[in-house]
Structure 1
């Protein structure tokens, strides 16, 4: 039998190290060729590492959350034949041979304390005095018993005696019962007994690893590097929603149903033609802004693992149905951890939306190194004055953030107004 070391492979794109986010095997497991050993995360995506050989796991190269350099030992296997590596040295805490004349050190303090504890006689704790039984609850309709002075004090304190437990003879309410009721001692003891208001103890430390760590790093970088400003505009989407319903009724079965998002993407594509500065990426190191002719639209997508931004490439060349199909495909891949690295990178502008939970206003964080992000808030029915009459309309806010180093406030406002004009006259989305 020999040992085979699997090293962290070079995943390309200049990646020097990756983070271990999950081990699929443990020491002692028998594995086969092509079995997945671990999930590692690059700056772009999660990658599965398969085994090139059969064998038994001897040791793992790190803990979940640790970063490993390309070429570092990922996992060590015991295999048939010579293998490709020498046997690993025994762990430092493994006992070695005792040399002649060696005098063992005295027992550790903890071990000695344990020995003393085992030898010590057990002394029973004195029994606690029994607590006085709580007064029985008053039956509905029973008149509370209390002296006139107690009743006057209860009136002054705003206390209804019906809800005060009495500890005196025949359940008579005393001044002490009023004191206990005011301070909540009796309520606290009763609530603690049934657990509704019991005090809780304990805490949990949750390591920030994997995708959550990448999200944290990306958000921190974006807020540190980019001077954000947010512009909010209200959009009347009544006609847009009516058109969307008509399109789905007519073409839904044949071409698939579309949501608001593909129509918004088209409006952004058309508006970018007039304001190309927003479809750009800013290189902080070189101080170069690169404007892009293609519109690679990032779609912020919530997954069980955290927020991902799959990219609809060449949105300018897709009609709303093609955009809808690509959004669905990418969202499914992202939520199942199957999105490729190139599907999660290269966006030039991003849309973020919380759907029905979108709130009224938000302040979205720009997807670094882009310079703009368009946020979608929920659609609500509101009264609007039109031609002197009050009518119900479907309104939606766009909350969009911009990089103030690149985009001036006037440009941002004009861009969003252009998007708004397309959405409020939705026929223009299909006119070139």
Structure 2
């Protein structure tokens, strides 16, 4: 028998780690070469990992939600033949690898790891260097949280087993003012005379796409000074045009308002290149694009994704309608390609009938602008001294104030407004 470690390969330029989102195997399973073993998510896409050899799974590198560094061991196989050269099974271990600590994976326990196999430099949690700290077992997520809170995991005793969990850390933080608690035990609370509430609490671990969304949104709000601009559009004329075009569409896809708005954004961006850009704030470089790669915020069962209509300026409204349907369907089914989920230069977001009156969309970093579509309503409007019932809709946009000035943002949205209110301009060269 031979022990064959499979290290996480480089799955994207600039990617340092990936998150485990699904295990397709468990310890003890027999797998064949090229059989899927795990799905790994980066900030770009979800990638399926396949077994490089045939054999039995004897170790897994964590649970769903754990981050695994590129080059670290993901799965260990036991094979009957001699193992292939290590370079065939993934890159060499990085200089500072995430320690491989076998744990319970989706209810199936792996074999316990001797303390000597755990990396001392990382398992001390970056705090005390005593002997107890070297034996601390905890997931990367627990270690990261402890570091952020300034807690030495050597002072935290697990309530069950050897592995410290978030609940153990919570109990330690709650009672850290007293004696070091033993195994999660806490001082008993005084008796209460009031009737206990029937509060049922469901704790859901934030993993996969939902965690990526949380991280990206927090980073966008933290690093980008947003400012919002809202404008009202009279969409009566373009709604009439849309309905007339749909009545004669034949086998072509049904037109919504989105293809017209994308067409308007494309034409307006030609005169306002500062909004069709990406800002690398670490390098201090703004990259203005002549082509519009339009991000289209799309709701999926797992959360919000942003597939990209590449070279949107090359489509007519029928082509845009077809591409919207194709990308949205591929994204919701998890079949969108990696290049279809990255590289956007400006984003359009819409909640359709739930669009409300005004919204303040969060910029899809490193872009510098996002345009949000609100609900269309009929209401009375004064036109040249007379009252008419018109179809009205708001556009709510956000801009990066480091790159886009308020005047430019206003002019950009006003250009979109003119194109929508005089729809013939959308089709003029």
Structure 1 runs, 4 residues or longer, greater than 6 Å off: none
| Residue correspondence of structure 1 range 42-53 to structure 2 within 5 A | 42-53=42-53
Report if the CA contact (8 A) 1:22-1:64 is conserved: yes
Q: How far apart are the structure 2 equivalents of 1:327 and 1:92?
A: 49
Cα deviation, 1:30-67, whole Å, max 9, x if unaligned, reads 22232211010111011111123322221211211111
| Residue correspondence of structure 1 range 100-115 to structure 2 within 5 A | none
Matched, 1:71 2:71: yes
Tell me by how many angstroms 1:355 deviates.
0.7
Report if the CA contact (8 A) 1:358-1:377 is conserved: yes
Unmatched 5+ residue regions in structure 1? 95-109, 111-191, 193-197
Report if the CA contact (8 A) 1:382-1:392 is conserved: yes
Instruction: Name 1:136's counterpart in structure 2.
Output: none
Cα deviation, 1:288-314, whole Å, max 9, x if unaligned, reads 222110000000111111111111010
Instruction: Name 1:60's counterpart in structure 2.
Output: 60
TM-score by length of 2: 0.73
3-state DSSP of counterpart to 1:57: strand
TM-score by length of 1: 0.72
Cα deviation, 1:300-351, whole Å, max 9, x if unaligned, reads 1111111111110101111111111111111111111112221111111100
For residue 226 of structure 1, the aligned residue among 207, 215, 224 is 224
For residue 280 of structure 2, the aligned residue among 278, 283, 287 is 283
Report if the CA contact (8 A) 2:378-2:389 is conserved: yes
Max Rg structure: 1
Instruction: Name 1:342's counterpart in structure 2.
Output: 339
| Residue correspondence of structure 1 range 212-291 to structure 2 within 5 A | 212-251=210-249, 253-291=250-288
**CA shift in 2, pair 1:90/1:311, >3 Å:** closer
Q: How far apart are the structure 2 equivalents of 1:293 and 1:22?
A: 39
Structure showing the higher helix proportion among its residues: 1
Q: How far apart are the structure 1 equivalents of 2:212 and 2:298?
A: 15
Instruction: Name 1:18's counterpart in structure 2.
Output: 18
Q: How far apart are the structure 2 equivalents of 1:379 and 1:397?
A: 8
Report if the CA contact (8 A) 1:3-1:84 is conserved: no
Instruction: Name 2:112's counterpart in structure 1.
Output: 91
Q: How far apart are the structure 1 equivalents of 2:111 and 2:348?
A: 54
Instruction: Name 1:206's counterpart in structure 2.
Output: 204
Matched, 1:30 2:30: yes
Report if the CA contact (8 A) 1:382-1:395 is conserved: yes
Instruction: Name 1:376's counterpart in structure 2.
Output: 373
Report if the CA contact (8 A) 2:59-2:111 is conserved: no
